[in-house]
Structure 1
Amino acid sequence: MTWFTGIVVYLLIWWTALFAVLPVGTQPDPEGDPAAGGWRGAPRQPRLGRKLLATTLVSALIWLAVYALVESDWLSFRSGWLALPDN
């Protein structure tokens, strides 16, 4: 995997993990005040900083697993059970 491919894969994993982490621990505001900038159903305390940090850590772990899988011979089209037949 080249460095460019690694960055692209990490960004794809990061965005996917972000949308998985965003609803965790969110409690909606049942009343909400539109005059104060709030809205009924909007999260009271979204804690975006914590969620961005958690997303970064989770995606780094997933990226390391993907990198190890891609670089290993276990999932290879050049050798092993997935190899294409020689003509």
Structure 2
Amino acid sequence: MKWYTALAIYTVIWWLVLFMVLPWGNRPIATEDVAKGHAAGSPERPRILIKFALTSIVAAVVFAIGYWAYVSDLISIRR
């Protein structure tokens, strides 16, 4: 597998995992604390950097398992 193919696969996995991780632990802002122009359903503390780090770790694990299966010839893109 070429490095750019691996990077493309990791990027797709990363984005899929990000959309799975984003809703974890979100609590909406209380209705009385909503400022004008803000959505009532927006999270109070999104913790986006923690979610990016968690996404990177989970995506790396998923990619490593897939790469191991590819190298071990358990899966093949040529068959």
Structure 1 length-normalised TM: 0.79
Please list every run of 5 or more consecutive structure 2 residues that lacks an aligned counterpart in the other structure.
Answer: none
Would you tell me which structure has more helix in proportion to its own residues? Answer: 2
Deviations 1:13-36 (A, max 9, x none): 0000000000000011131112xx
Point out which structure has higher relative CO (alpha carbons under 8 A, 6+ apart).
2
**Deviation sequence 1:50-80 (CA, Å, 0-9, x none):** 00000000000001001111111222477xx
How many Å separate the matches in 1 of 2:17 and 2:60? 10
Rounded Cα–Cα distance in structure 2 between residues aligned with 1:12 and 1:77: 17
Q: Does 1:71 align with 2:71?
A: yes
- Alpha-carbon RMSD across the aligned residues, in angstroms, is 1.7
Aligned residues: percent identity? Answer: 36
| Residue segments in structure 1 that go unaligned for 5+ positions in a row | none
